[in-house]
Amino acid sequence: MRRILVLLFFMLFTASAQAQNATFTFLKTVDAAQLNEILAGERADFLPAGSRPKTYKWPKAYRAKYSVAIYRVQYPSVVPEWHNQPISASGLIAIPIKPRDQKMPAICYQHGTVYGKYEVPSYSFSKTNPSGFSQYAGSYETRLMVAQYAGQGYVVEAADYFGMGDSALPEAYTVKGAEQSACVGLYNAAKAFLASKGIRQSKLFLAGWSQGGLVTTAFLEKLQSLGIKITASFTASSPNDPFAGLRGRQEITFPI
């Protein structure tokens, strides 16, 4: 029992220390009209008519109700696979501007595979980055999530994953412990930041697409192990069991 209590205290202390050492840099306020343009014109540019079937119909997008404050987050974390080596990670938090409502649901979004170091949430609202090459278009999925969810009153939190954004280490692509650590670190930092603004999280949702679906599943597992309640989670095109796909291909037979 004593060991369990010590472990719980250490976990809480570590989470608190990481949250306190995080840096939140205000980037901009995006008003509802700009968010609606992301949901309409920018979405059409991202997936032009010639690249989709003629019968394809856009999913319904709800028009944004609120302006949103965008912050880039720099926070400390550790790499479990490297004996908990300390790392400085980056991410984004988008907070709806609702002065009379200090109780908001939050959604943690895990982005899909990207090939540019700055095609990530923390730079998704910036047309310039340290590389000198614009990678704005490749981070559209984060802007879409912010427009659709933060515009409806949800706090949106999105980690860059280790090695991406302003992180200096090599990319930890589909490395389970590292991706869990990146997401938990941002979650802890964001929760403390929201509390400092008098905002209380009412519900917690997780979402991810492609690689982000895999990360979401790992993140869900980690949060459950910590006793953190998740209202719901959803994924799309998640490669949770790539070996199943490989085996399936091997078992396909064709008539001669």
pLDDT of residue 245: 57
* Residue 205 resides in a domain: yes
* Residue 176 resides in a domain: yes
pLDDT of residue 13: 41
* Residue 127 resides in a domain: yes
- State mean pLDDT over 69-81: 96
pLDDT of residue 116: 94
Judge whether 55 and 70 are in contact, CB under 8 Å: no
Percent of residues, the chain, with pLDDT higher than 90: 70
Residue 248 pLDDT class (50, 70, 90 cuts): low
- Please report where in the chains the tokens 């679906």 appear, as a residue: 213
- Return the CATH number at 87: 3.40.50.1820
List of residues 6+ apart from 38 with CB closer than 8 A: 143, 144, 146, 147
Smallest CA-to-CA distance from 25 within 72, 87, 63, 80 is with 72
How far apart CA 95 and CA 136 sit, in angstroms, is: 21
* Residue 104 resides in a domain: yes
List 93's β-bridge partners, or say none. Answer: 71, 157
- State mean pLDDT over 194-217: 95
DSSP result, 74-122: EEEEEEGGGTTEEEEEEEEEEEE--TT--EEEEEEEE----SSTT-SGG
* Residue 10 resides in a domain: yes
The chain-wide mean pLDDT, for the chain, equals: 87
Q: Is pLDDT above 50 for 6?
A: no
* Residue 256 resides in a domain: no
- State mean pLDDT over 49-77: 90
Is 231 or 50 the better-scoring residue by pLDDT?
A: 231
pLDDT of residue 1: 52
* Residue 226 resides in a domain: yes
List 157's β-bridge partners, or say none. Answer: 93, 108
pLDDT in tens, 150-166: 999 999 999 999 999 99
pLDDT of residue 256: 43
Strand (E) or helix (H) holding 14: helix 2-21
Output the CA angle 238-220-230, nearest 5 degrees.
Answer: 120
Q: What is the pTM of this model?
A: 0.85
> Domain total for the chain?
1
Smallest CA-to-CA distance from 208 within 128, 142, 162, 153 is with 142
Give φ, ψ of 70 to 5 degrees: -105, 130
pLDDT of residue 16: 43
- Please report where in the chains the tokens 């981070």 appear, as a residue: 139
β 103-110/200-209 pair status:
parallel
* Residue 255 resides in a domain: no
158 by DSSP, 3-state: which?
Answer: strand
Structural domain harbouring 153: 2-250
